[in-house]
Amino acid sequence: MNEPLRTFLVERYWPGIDLDQLRDVLPRLESAARAMTAAGSRVEHVGSILMPADQVVFSLFAAADESLVRQLNERVELPADRIAEAIALLEPGSASGETQGPAADRIPVIDPGED
């Protein structure tokens, strides 16, 4: 039985990080997430945001629980200063006119117009 996916935000203080370095690391993160999912631990990297002036990277994950997000980050030896459950306010296709990818229809999404 599959547990419902929840969203988690990982905050990484990462001195010296730049866009090229982040782009180099993301395929390792994606590959490890696929391997964990294939082994029965559902976890998916939804996306990351680089804030170069602050030397911070925020990454959003969909997973059954926080421990899977922590395991994934440890597996690829990425810093994870804070992991917190989050509520995603994503609207598939809002940024590009296309869907956000496979996780967009599986993570909890709140319509910003809902009360």
CATH classification of the domain holding 23: 3.30.70.3090
| DSSP count for the chain of H helices, then E strands | 2, 4
**Which regions of the chain are under pLDDT 70?**
1-2, 90-115
pLDDT score for 80: 92
Q: What is the pLDDT of residue 3?
A: 73
97 domain residue, yes or no: yes
- Cβ atoms within 10 Å of 69's Cβ, excluding its own: 28
Residue with tokens 């990297």: 45
Residues 72 and 53: their CA atoms lie apart, in Å, by: 26
Q: How many domains does the chain have?
A: 1
Q: How many CB atoms lie within 10 A of CB 77?
A: 8
* CB 83, CB 10: distance < 8 Å: yes
What does the pLDDT read at residue 2? 66
For residue 112, tell me if it sits in a domain.
Answer: no
Q: What is the domain range of residue 33? A: 6-105
Report pLDDT digits (tens) over 32-46: 999 999 999 999 999
Kindly state whether residue 68 falls inside one of the protein's structural domains.
Answer: yes
Q: Phi first, then psi: what are they for 78, rounded to 5°?
A: -100, 145
110 found inside a domain: no
Beta-carbon contacts of residue 101 (< 8 Å; ≥ 6 apart): 46
